[in-house]
Structure 1
Amino acid sequence: MQATAYTYDSDSRSGSVLLDDGTPLPFDAAAFDAGGLRLLRPGQRVRIEVQGEGAARQIALVTLQTF
């Protein structure tokens, strides 16, 4: 699934993305680390993997979107 980086805190390695429908979805350090990134800037297109459904939905991986 694709999204756009919305916020990122380099100290905690967590932040949030905006899904293409505008829904914000937070991610934690584990999801950031799983993607192998070192830095993320707001506005970057990212690829995410999501686990769970509904209110239990969470991001398991954040990495840069490649074409």
Structure 2
Amino acid sequence: MQATAYTFDPDTRAGSVLLDDGTPVPFDAAAFDAGGLRLLRAGQRVRIRTEGEGDARRIVLVTLATFPDS
């Protein structure tokens, strides 16, 4: 699933993304570290992996979204 980086704190490595419908979803340092990123800027397109549903949904992976060559 893709989203847009909304907030990121480089000290805690936690932040939040906005889903395409505008819903903010937080992520923790473990999800950020799982993606192998070093930094994230607001507005970047990211790919996320989630677990759970509804209020129990959480992000377990955040990485940069890449676009295939056409």
Common fold: TM-score over 0.5:
yes
Deviation at 1:29, TM superposition (A): 0.1
C-alpha separation between the residues in 1 aligned to 2:52 and 2:34? 17
Which segments of structure 1 move beyond 6 Å, counting only runs of 4 or more?
A: none
Name the larger-Rg structure. 2
C-alpha separation between the residues in 1 aligned to 2:16 and 2:31? 11
C-alpha separation between the residues in 2 aligned to 1:18 and 1:54? 15
Q: TM-score, normalised by structure 1?
A: 0.99
Amino acid at match of 1:12: T
* Structure 2, unaligned runs of 5 or more: none
C-alpha separation between the residues in 2 aligned to 1:51 and 1:35? 15
| DSSP 3-state at the match of 1:30 | helix
Q: Percent identity?
A: 81
How many correspondences in the alignment?
A: 67
Matched, 1:57 2:60: no
C-alpha separation between the residues in 2 aligned to 1:13 and 1:6? 13
**What root-mean-square deviation, in Å, do the aligned CA atoms of Structure 1 and Structure 2 show?**
0.2
* Structure 1, unaligned runs of 5 or more: none
